[in-house]
A and B are shown apart, each in its own frame.
Chain A
């Protein structure tokens, strides 16, 4: 099957790649652009490990074709920190021990960032429902929820 040339912006940088039309955006990020921070846990949009934002909208990148990325703005975990300076969510995840194996962590961080941009002061229930599309099998979610709430609180204080 012949490949299609795609030009898109990922984490602020314009990039190009040749996509097999069957490849997902996740495949293209990982295999063509070397951005392996987004993970494939299921390939069916159920686990959230591949969460990225496309034009500001949180999506599962395993459910979007790579060729659909043409002309879009994509943000992945690799773009979350500002150089050496971690996003407060990243810092709080380390401080609260909110990760064990860490495989779901990139997707959860991307999803949590999207939540806090929409709702800077979420209740515990709101955080739990927002992250219901992100599976974590190690932590039982307790420390993840605490880390998100704490990051939200710090970000509100800093604003």
Chain B
């Protein structure tokens, strides 16, 4: 859709109440832990207290002898011979020869009550041989670091690399050395970010049942029921189609619920307990110790800039650890970090490094926040040095449609320039600042994603529509999909019911990840609605005895397309639906594809902070998010994504981090010590939705979930420099660190 063809919509862009609102304000909505089943057992998991240890012996006899215990499983109960990511998932589900991190599962128990299961876990005796461990990325990449796993490196890693490097990335274009020669200022800095957790308030929970015949069912809080099905089947050697997975309402995910952790254990326990269903609910400390936090990163960036603010060359070398398995998003970090800029000479190098920490999972724009912290911090510092306006420099170098991205592809329609222009005009950018206050700006980028998508739509007997989607609703997608379907069918928003369905109801769907639900399920639902419309036009044409091409769909009714088609009064969807049993049977539409036409999303944030010179505490005074949504289907939930992403980024910047002790154990596995932002830490989060419609989506949607977590990390560091003159290069910027930096700068 060209930018100048923005249509007036009847429903798209309005803000109706969400369809699941009533259930959620009354406590009726059913989440992962809210279900029980007849004959149900409770599961509990024994976890390693060591960061790295050989498992010499597991004695489960005392646990098995406890009254009420119905099953105990260890790795010996799992199939062998898995390879690649299937092996990684199995090894992470249950330790094999070695415990690889503090919290790694060693054994699991199912019993008739939660208390008995916990007691039985304490009766399991494990003999360990503790091994040297490493948790910091810069230590893990040293040539003499403790080796996490021999032979884990893939073909990308050149000979002679340190033993924990498992993937290596190198790409770029132009001539960076020549580019640096053309610059008036070349600066190089090193940055570090610590691991954070998605921090969803709902701990992982599942209720699994598996019979001796290999048929099973699972109720689980997840972003993707088909991923759960596929991964559990792979880890346990099951036939995927025999496992039926139903997603519960989901209490937050942010990427962390796109994979498996303890879910296969409920199935393995259930099978061993004669097929009785087994419920496992993680505690918060299990969530923090043993699910999938982000990678931590150590990054070198070198940039060249002319005195009028033109970027001439950039070099980024990133090291990331994502736990004891390959998969740190160092590639994504490199792809995103320079994406907002048109630079002719770029070089990217990345190392994925193993360490004794839990296997990282996706977290909102995985990799992008770290990369942005490095690049956007350095660009800001260079602007200050050259006395240039950071907004001017961003606009001057902004990528536009047709430009080649720093990571290779050519951008289609994008809205970075529009975002920067809107930001520059926003009143927050000219609010007066007092003493110890500073302002920071930063840009952010996320590709957005499509993925396998399957949607089915059926017209009910009374002319309403029910839509079956496979993407769990994590932030209002049922509302946005209902709006698009109602708009397409020409019926009321309230006359559409969108159901998130189980794996037996549709073809394979990727999870709600990559900001894809409103883009991909929304696009597929719109195509499905059009198919139903075509069928309804055909039914009307048959009734009228005219060609179906001579019928058009207007405002929820079939009508003759023109005077030559004949004189018939419009036939409404209700009329067609009422008679469908007599005119050819059920009317439905469906669509299965990997929808094309993903639209990337850029954002720019502006933050004002005040730093207390006595304590080093940073207070957020004002916060602005400007981002290109393509089109905001339900603007309230677009704003919600912007605000939520920004606040997660604020937490990452100022408070949140995984703290490991010298013993390799996580020191802060509860919310008191893993300190996420609370209401009193924050001001209102101002938003401005920019709409540069994505031509690849019927309503122009880009996907809005992820970009917003990226700019806060550098924007706040930039604001702190504005307030104090001190440049912080290691997150989080806690009062202790800021105070130490202030003192060091005064010496």
Check A69 for interface membership: any CB of B closer than 8 A. Answer: no
Shortest CB–CB separation between residue B524 and chain A, in angstroms? 22
Given contacts A44-B670, A78-B26, A145-B684, contact A132 B648 (CB under 8 A): no
Check B161 for interface membership: any CB of A closer than 8 A. Answer: no
Report the separation of the CA atoms of residues A38 and B36 in the bound assembly, to the nearest whole angstrom.
16
Stretch of B194-202, B326-334, B438-446, B532-540 on the interface side: B194-202
Of A37, A43, A100, which contacts B27 at CB under 8 A?
A: A37
Nearest A residue to B643 by beta-carbon distance? A140
**Using a CB-CB cutoff of 8 Å, which residues 245-294 of chain B contact chain A?**
249-254, 281, 283-284
Q: Are B252 and A103 in contact (CB under 8 A)?
A: yes
Check B20 for interface membership: any CB of A closer than 8 A. Answer: yes
CB-defined interface of A89-123 with B at 8 Å, one 1/0 digit per residue? 01101111101111111100100000000000000
Chain B residues with Cβ under 8 A from A81's Cβ?
Answer: 26
Chain B residues with Cβ under 8 A from A80's Cβ?
Answer: 26-27
Report the separation of the CA atoms of residues A81 and B198 in the bound assembly, to the nearest whole angstrom.
32
Q: Are B644 and A39 in contact (CB under 8 A)?
A: no
Q: Are A41 and B26 in contact (CB under 8 A)?
A: no
Q: Are B284 and A44 in contact (CB under 8 A)?
A: yes
Shortest CB–CB separation between residue A63 and chain B, in angstroms? 12
Q: Are B200 and A101 in contact (CB under 8 A)?
A: yes
Nearest B residue to A143 by beta-carbon distance? B640
Report the separation of the CA atoms of residues A99 and B18 in the bound assembly, to the nearest whole angstrom.
10
Q: Are B25 and A138 in contact (CB under 8 A)?
A: no
Shortest CB–CB separation between residue A15 and chain B, in angstroms? 16
Given contacts A44-B284, A103-B202, A103-B252, contact A90 B25 (CB under 8 A): yes
Q: Are A132 and B672 in contact (CB under 8 A)?
A: no
Count of residues in A whose CB is under 8 Å from the partner chain: 62
**Using a CB-CB cutoff of 8 Å, which residues 109-149 of chain A contact chain B?**
109, 125, 127-129, 131-146
Check A46 for interface membership: any CB of B closer than 8 A. Answer: yes
Q: Are A97 and B476 in contact (CB under 8 A)?
A: yes
Report the separation of the CA atoms of residues A96 and B115 in the bound assembly, to the nearest whole angstrom.
41
Check B33 for interface membership: any CB of A closer than 8 A. Answer: yes
Check B24 for interface membership: any CB of A closer than 8 A. Answer: yes
Shortest CB–CB separation between residue B27 and chain A, in angstroms? 2
Task: From B200, B250, B681, name the one whose CB has the most chain A CB atoms within 10 angstroms.
Answer: B200
**Using a CB-CB cutoff of 8 Å, which residues 1-51 of chain A contact chain B?**
1, 20, 22-23, 27, 30-31, 35-44, 46-47, 49
Main secondary structure, interface of B, reads loop
Q: Are A140 and B21 in contact (CB under 8 A)?
A: no
Chain B residues with Cβ under 8 A from A53's Cβ?
Answer: none
Given contacts A101-B475, A132-B678, contact A20 B115 (CB under 8 A): yes
Chain A residues with Cβ under 8 A from B33's Cβ?
Answer: 30, 36, 39-40
Check A86 for interface membership: any CB of B closer than 8 A. Answer: yes
CB-defined interface of B649-676 with A at 8 Å, one 1/0 digit per residue? 0000000000000000000001110001
Q: Are B679 and A131 in contact (CB under 8 A)?
A: yes
Q: Are A100 and B637 in contact (CB under 8 A)?
A: yes
Shortest CB–CB separation between residue A74 and chain B, in angstroms? 14
Chain B residues with Cβ under 8 A from A97's Cβ?
Answer: 15, 18, 476, 634, 636-637, 639-640
Chain A residues with Cβ under 8 A from B637's Cβ?
Answer: 97, 100
Bin chain B's interface residue count.
35 or more
Shortest CB–CB separation between residue B428 and chain A, in angstroms? 14
Given contacts A1-B115, A137-B676, contact A105 B254 (CB under 8 A): no
Report the separation of the CA atoms of residues A127 and B683 in the bound assembly, to the nearest whole angstrom.
12
Q: Are A135 and B678 in contact (CB under 8 A)?
A: yes
Chain A residues with Cβ under 8 A from B57's Cβ?
Answer: none
Q: Are A94 and B115 in contact (CB under 8 A)?
A: no
Q: Are B679 and A42 in contact (CB under 8 A)?
A: no
**Using a CB-CB cutoff of 8 Å, which residues 92-111 of chain B contact chain A?**
none
**Using a CB-CB cutoff of 8 Å, which residues 64-99 of chain A contact chain B?**
76-78, 80-81, 86, 90-91, 93-97, 99
Q: Are A46 and B18 in contact (CB under 8 A)?
A: no
Given contacts A135-B676, A138-B644, contact A38 B15 (CB under 8 A): no
Check B682 for interface membership: any CB of A closer than 8 A. Answer: yes
**Using a CB-CB cutoff of 8 Å, which residues 145-179 of chain B contact chain A?**
none
Chain B residues with Cβ under 8 A from A47's Cβ?
Answer: 201, 284, 671
Chain B residues with Cβ under 8 A from A102's Cβ?
Answer: 20, 23-25, 29, 249, 251
Check B31 for interface membership: any CB of A closer than 8 A. Answer: yes
Report the separation of the CA atoms of residues A144 and B680 in the bound assembly, to the nearest whole angstrom.
12
Chain B residues with Cβ under 8 A from A90's Cβ?
Answer: 25-26
Given contacts A42-B671, A142-B643, A144-B679, contact A99 B202 (CB under 8 A): no
Nearest B residue to A87 by beta-carbon distance? B25
Chain A residues with Cβ under 8 A from B252's Cβ?
Answer: 100-101, 103, 137-138
Given contacts A44-B670, A94-B21, A103-B251, contact A138 B475 (CB under 8 A): yes
Report the separation of the CA atoms of residues A141 and B201 in the bound assembly, to the nearest whole angstrom.
14
Q: Are B475 and A37 in contact (CB under 8 A)?
A: no
Q: Are B647 and A41 in contact (CB under 8 A)?
A: no
Q: Can you report 29 A-B residue pairs in the complex whose CB atoms are below 8 A from each other?
A: A27-B114, A36-B27, A36-B30, A36-B34, A41-B203, A42-B284, A42-B671, A76-B27, A86-B22, A93-B21, A93-B25, A94-B17, A94-B22, A97-B18, A97-B636, A101-B200, A102-B23, A103-B31, A103-B249, A106-B25, A128-B680, A131-B679, A132-B678, A133-B678, A135-B676, A140-B645, A141-B647, A143-B639, A144-B679
Instruction: Report, nearest first, the 8 A-B pairs whose CB atoms are least far apart.
Output: A37-B27, A103-B251, A102-B24, A140-B647, A97-B636, A140-B643, A46-B671, A77-B27
